[in-house]
């Protein structure tokens, strides 16, 4: 396990995507008590600024991985090593290098055709899918149904693909239940990218940290507020954090996040 790296009010695990996938796979093989991986990005930190009560979603996570090249750059400017480990990259590495055809997998969220595409692409023989209900953010019973499915379908790998913060809420509830097992990752749209249901930014844009621009131009009506209104607040938050380093524990109440 890596040493935690405090940055902007959260405790991050400074792992690359490759390291994160290896760490998750190693724990998944042990089939121990349920543990989950959160992938906070700019959107998440901006939300936490407005809704500090959500901080426990990350405080209870086994790993918090930096899912943002913008955060990576801001950390670098603060002389902090915080490699970006995008959830989509981690999920791709898991399926490509670590998940075997016979491994039991549980997926919460997504659509049937996404599951069918993954099953075919990776020759999966034991994938269980739950079509998550609506209202997960406000309905504890809806989340409890997801937790019940995870408990009744024990798997080495659990993928929570219902958007943030709903997926982190389900993960926290599953951990708190004490009756679930396996390693879960809060992965947003990663499975849609992997299955071909959604198109991800080309490699050259990702290499230049422009994935956000691809998503903005591809889905302007959905993404304009996230990237043009909410997202830029991260720079104000970073400036405040740098000017008050002794107050590094407060930005969790001064951080923010928004859904994936």
**Residue 258 falls inside a structural domain:** no
Query: What pLDDT shows up at residue 252?
Result: 40
Residue corresponding to tokens 């043009």: 228
Query: What pLDDT shows up at residue 185?
Result: 98
Query: What pLDDT shows up at residue 251?
Result: 41
**Residue 260 falls inside a structural domain:** no
The pairing of strands 105-108 and 157-160 is parallel
pLDDT digits (tens, 9 = 90+) for 147-163: 999 999 999 999 999 99
**Residue 257 falls inside a structural domain:** no
**Residue 179 falls inside a structural domain:** yes
**Residue 221 falls inside a structural domain:** yes
User: What is the average pLDDT value for the chain, to the nearest integer?
Assistant: 91
| pLDDT score of 218 more than 90 | no
Q: Give the whole-number percent of the chain exceeding pLDDT 70.
A: 93
pTM for this prediction: 0.89
pLDDT digits (tens, 9 = 90+) for 241-260: 998 755 444 444 343 333 44
**Residue 44 falls inside a structural domain:** yes
pLDDT digits (tens, 9 = 90+) for 123-143: 999 999 999 999 999 999 999
Q: Can you tell me the mean pLDDT for 213-218?
A: 84
* Domain ranges, residue 103: 5-252
**Residue 223 falls inside a structural domain:** yes
pLDDT band at 219 (very low <50, low <70, confident <90, very high): confident
Structural domain count, the chain: 1
pLDDT digits (tens, 9 = 90+) for 51-91: 999 999 999 999 999 999 999 999 999 999 999 999 999 99
Q: Give the whole-number percent of the chain exceeding pLDDT 90.
A: 77
**Residue 50 falls inside a structural domain:** yes
């Amino acid at each position: 396990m890596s040493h935690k790296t405090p940055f902007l009010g959260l405790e991050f695990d400074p792992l690359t995507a490759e390291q994160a996938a290896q760490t998750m796979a190693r724990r998944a093989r042990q089939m121990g008590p349920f543990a989950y991986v959160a992938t906070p990005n700019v959107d998440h930190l901006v939300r936490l600024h407005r809704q500090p009560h959500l901080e426990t979603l990350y405080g209870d996570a086994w790993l918090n991985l930096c899912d943002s090249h913008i955060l990576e750059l801001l950390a670098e400017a603060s002389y902090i090593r915080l490699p970006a480990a995008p959830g989509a990259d981690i999920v791709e590495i898991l399926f490509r290098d670590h998940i075997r055809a016979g491994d039991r997998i549980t997926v919460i969220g997504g659509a049937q055709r996404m599951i069918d595409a993954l099953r075919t692409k990776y020759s999966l023989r034991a994938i269980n899918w739950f079509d998550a209900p609506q209202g997960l953010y406000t309905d504890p019973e809806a989340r409890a149904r997801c937790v019940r499915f995870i408990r009744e379908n024990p798997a080495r790998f659990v993928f929570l693909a219902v958007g943030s913060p709903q997926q982190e809420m389900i993960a926290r509830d599953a951990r708190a239940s004490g009756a679930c097992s396996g390693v879960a990752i809060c992965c947003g749209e990663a499975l849609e990218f992997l299955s071909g249901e959604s198109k991800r930014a080309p490699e050259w844009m990702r290499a230049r940290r422009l994935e956000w621009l691809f998503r903005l131009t591809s889905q302007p009506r959905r993404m304009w507020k996230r990237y043009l209104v909410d997202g830029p607040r991260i720079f104000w938050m970073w400036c405040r954090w740098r000017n008050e380093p002794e107050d590094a524990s407060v930005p969790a109440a001064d951080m923010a996040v928004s859904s994936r």
